[in-house]
Amino acid sequence: MLRPPALSLLAALALLAAPAAQAAEGVVRKLQPAQAKVTLAHGEIKELGMPAMTMAYRARPPSLLDGLAVGDRVEFTAEKVDGQYVVTAIRKKR
Ligand SMILES: [Cu+2]
Protein backbone atom coordinates (compact mmCIF):
# COMPACT_ATOMS: atom_id res chain seq x y z
CA MET A 1 0.00 0.00 0.00
CA LEU A 2 1.27 3.44 -0.96
CA ARG A 3 1.18 6.33 1.45
CA PRO A 4 1.59 10.02 0.67
CA PRO A 5 5.29 10.96 0.93
CA ALA A 6 4.61 13.62 3.55
CA LEU A 7 3.09 11.05 5.87
CA SER A 8 5.98 8.65 5.34
CA LEU A 9 8.44 11.41 6.22
CA LEU A 10 6.53 12.21 9.39
CA ALA A 11 6.50 8.54 10.34
CA ALA A 12 10.25 8.31 9.80
CA LEU A 13 10.87 11.41 11.90
CA ALA A 14 8.67 10.06 14.69
CA LEU A 15 10.72 6.85 14.72
CA LEU A 16 13.99 8.79 14.88
CA ALA A 17 12.71 10.98 17.70
CA ALA A 18 11.37 8.08 19.76
CA PRO A 19 13.71 7.44 22.68
CA ALA A 20 15.00 3.91 23.16
CA ALA A 21 13.29 3.50 26.50
CA GLN A 22 13.24 0.18 28.23
CA ALA A 23 11.84 -0.91 31.55
CA ALA A 24 14.19 -2.85 33.80
CA GLU A 25 14.48 -4.06 37.35
CA GLY A 26 17.16 -3.15 39.81
CA VAL A 27 18.22 -2.32 43.35
CA VAL A 28 19.10 1.17 44.58
CA ARG A 29 22.78 1.14 45.63
CA LYS A 30 23.41 4.85 46.13
CA LEU A 31 21.37 8.06 46.12
CA GLN A 32 22.78 11.52 45.35
CA PRO A 33 19.67 13.72 45.19
CA ALA A 34 21.67 16.96 45.08
CA GLN A 35 23.26 15.74 41.83
CA ALA A 36 20.00 14.12 40.63
CA LYS A 37 21.91 10.83 40.50
CA VAL A 38 20.97 7.32 41.48
CA THR A 39 23.20 4.26 41.30
CA LEU A 40 21.34 1.11 40.38
CA ALA A 41 22.36 -2.52 40.23
CA HIS A 42 20.31 -3.74 37.30
CA GLY A 43 19.74 -6.79 35.18
CA GLU A 44 20.36 -6.96 31.44
CA ILE A 45 18.79 -4.14 29.37
CA LYS A 46 18.91 -5.44 25.82
CA GLU A 47 17.56 -2.29 24.18
CA LEU A 48 20.40 -0.24 25.69
CA GLY A 49 23.01 -2.91 24.97
CA MET A 50 23.80 -3.38 28.65
CA PRO A 51 24.61 -6.54 30.50
CA ALA A 52 23.74 -6.73 34.20
CA MET A 53 25.79 -4.08 36.02
CA THR A 54 25.85 -1.42 38.69
CA MET A 55 25.95 2.11 37.34
CA ALA A 56 24.92 5.70 38.03
CA TYR A 57 22.01 7.27 36.19
CA ARG A 58 20.79 10.82 36.06
CA ALA A 59 17.17 11.19 37.22
CA ARG A 60 14.92 13.32 35.06
CA PRO A 61 13.10 14.92 36.74
CA PRO A 62 15.20 14.80 39.94
CA SER A 63 11.99 14.47 42.00
CA LEU A 64 11.82 10.87 40.76
CA LEU A 65 14.25 10.09 43.59
CA ASP A 66 11.91 11.36 46.31
CA GLY A 67 10.93 8.58 48.66
CA LEU A 68 13.56 6.12 47.45
CA ALA A 69 16.08 4.57 49.82
CA VAL A 70 19.28 2.57 49.38
CA GLY A 71 18.35 -1.10 49.19
CA ASP A 72 14.94 -0.55 47.56
CA ARG A 73 14.04 -2.97 44.79
CA VAL A 74 12.76 -0.91 41.87
CA GLU A 75 11.35 -1.02 38.37
CA PHE A 76 12.69 1.78 36.21
CA THR A 77 12.75 3.07 32.68
CA ALA A 78 16.06 4.23 31.23
CA GLU A 79 16.92 6.11 28.06
CA LYS A 80 20.09 7.33 26.47
CA VAL A 81 19.75 11.11 26.08
CA ASP A 82 22.60 13.15 24.59
CA GLY A 83 25.07 10.40 25.44
CA GLN A 84 23.93 10.14 29.05
CA TYR A 85 21.88 7.42 30.63
CA VAL A 86 18.78 8.90 32.21
CA VAL A 87 16.11 7.35 34.39
CA THR A 88 12.76 8.75 33.32
CA ALA A 89 10.53 6.63 35.56
CA ILE A 90 11.18 4.61 38.68
CA ARG A 91 9.02 2.99 41.30
CA LYS A 92 9.54 0.83 44.32
CA LYS A 93 8.61 -2.82 44.00
CA ARG A 94 6.48 -4.33 46.73
CU1 LIG B 1 23.75 -0.19 33.05
For the chain, list the domains and their CATH numbers.
Answer: 22-92 (2.40.50.320)
At 68, the pLDDT band (50, 70, 90 cuts) reads very high
> Tens digits of per-residue pLDDT, 16-50?
555 556 689 999 999 999 999 999 999 999 989 99
Determine the 3-state secondary structure of 21 from DSSP. Answer: coil
Mean of all residue pLDDT scores within the chain:
87
Ligand 1 centroid – CA 65 distance (Å) = 18
At 78, the pLDDT band (50, 70, 90 cuts) reads very high
pTM for the model stands at: 0.76
Ligand 1 centroid – CA 13 distance (Å) = 27
As a whole number, mean pLDDT of residues 3-20 equals 56
DSSP alpha helix (H) spans, the chain: 5-17
Using an 8 Å Cβ cutoff, are 40 and 32 in contact?
Answer: no
Ligand 1 centroid – CA 24 distance (Å) = 10
Ligand 1 centroid – CA 12 distance (Å) = 28
At 83, the pLDDT band (50, 70, 90 cuts) reads very high
Q: Which of 80, 67, 68 minimizes the C-alpha distance to 40?
A: 68
Which H or E run includes 89? strand 84-92
Half-sphere exposure (CA, 13 Å, Cβ side) for 12?
Answer: 7
